[in-house]
Chain A
Amino acid sequence: MARDSGIWQNSFIFISVDFNFSLRPKIKRQQLQQRQGTKTGKKKKMHSFGYRANALLTFAVTILALMCAIASLSDNLNTPSPSAQIEILNINWFQKQPHGNDEVSLTLNITADLQSLFTWNTKQLFIFVAAEYETPKNALNQVSLWDAIIPAKEFAKFSIHTSNKYRFIDQGHNLRSKEFNLTLHWHVMPKTGKMFANKIVMSGYRLPEDYR
């Protein structure tokens, strides 16, 4: 009798086990395994918090980079039409320094309209005026005389009287009756992306023949 019940119990166990793992329909098997937390070949595991955070972060950074690139590319759509004039109002003095180099001080009147250079992606405009000339020893000399930062479009149209901010010193004593160009350069510094630069060259300026 005991044996019989043992058999019944065993077979009951066997049947129930078999029932659980092979005879039940698949959907219930998956539920059981999900409850038990085991992997099967076909069921997808839920992503962990770390995995999702990583995916989100990568996506966000990629989109941000893309937006920066598009912002920068939009600068190419802008067609600027700047204008400028520079007038030398006065040669303040023109001397030869003790160690042999020429130096000149000028007062300039700089008038410019650079409003068309500003786009929505422009942080500021850095402008400077440089004197360009050549000498027997040097094929090219560029000396920056004055610079300014234009933070916004409203300030981009201006007229200013100024003496040279930086000293105009030659490498040597070649400046007497020297012909030179004055160039107004501008550097567009963007909020993000590629920086642009260009210039207007104004020629026909000449230094005096003698020291003053």
Chain B
Amino acid sequence: MAAVATCGTGAGSTGSMVAAGSKNNVTSFQRRGPRASGSDSSYSRLVSIAGTRPSVRNGQLLVSTGLPALDQLLGGGLAVGTVLLIEEDKYNIYSSLLFKYFLAEGIINGHTLLVASAKEDPADILQELPAPLLDDNVKKDFDEDACNHKTAESNIKMKIAWRYQLLPKMEAGPVSSSRFGHYYDASKKMPQELIEASKWHGFFFPEKSSSTLNIEPCSLTHGYIKLLQFIQNTIYEEGFDGSNPQKKQKNILRIGIQNLGSPLWGDDICCTENGNSHSLTKFLYVLRGLLRTSLSACMITMPTHLIQNKAIISRVTNLSDTVVGLESFIGSERETNPLYKDYHGLIHIRQIPRLNNLIYDVSDVKDLAFKLKRKLFTIEGWRGRSFPNLKI
């Protein structure tokens, strides 16, 4: 029964111990250079996909998260085949904004989208995506913003906390338009023609919950099983895993799942401490298996502040690749604290994966704050002033 992998497996097959027929070895982990595990033609095929670029560290294929500043913090972008978990802020304001940036980036780049939600209809979510900032408009706004900012701050050299002056500001200016990663205007909506021209699949749980299951009930909740089946179907039908010989896919599938783990998905980990504690983790495991074997990248937002059993949070973190936490100041005592007056919240980079490598790119700046001002979402190394109103 357990077939030992002997030398008989072809060079192209992945040689898994359950040999399910010969599949094309389309994984996203391709090495740069002639000794790539795929052939040269498949490597050049990967490189030519719009909206992707290889990582400088290990040749890993990256897509933009929709926020160039976040891309920089994650070492260049989100690796294809991995999961980005966003721990939602308390009122799900900024995390849903990041979710929309992720989807908008997919539309701009022509990627296929898969939007899954239990709260809003995916069609409605797509209608509310932010509009991309075109270079000529934004240059003007940036210059005037920079003027106001610079006159106030840059001329003051810090005397006491002088080390903080060296903290970099994350990349905040727009560069050329055919770049990797775009800027979005949160106050305007994405033009209708761009949305209609895009290819997307929606999964709205209340609509799909009534259809029958053809998997025997394991400990996954109903919603997760249906979602996994839907994702797997889409990947297979559209050819993102390379197994369908008729469909040669040259595109990335961006999967966005909103509020995973919330009671709307039928999961009770946010309601009780002794709920179904393995449903979400099993879901994440199988999802990651699907992602690793296809040209797709996934962003999940999860209300981790609501999860009652803290052990689940650490398990979920271990089962995700990249984890970013958002903490907004709304309603907390920090909102009126003068230290934080320029910012709307903090960003915590909790985990970055070490893919194909012993080391990873980690930013030196650990205290990061974000703000949403004048339509733009910016992330900065937070300069906490030790003596806020002290007259020297």
Genuine A/B complex: no
- Using CB atoms and an 8 Å cutoff, list the residues of chain A in contact with chain B: none
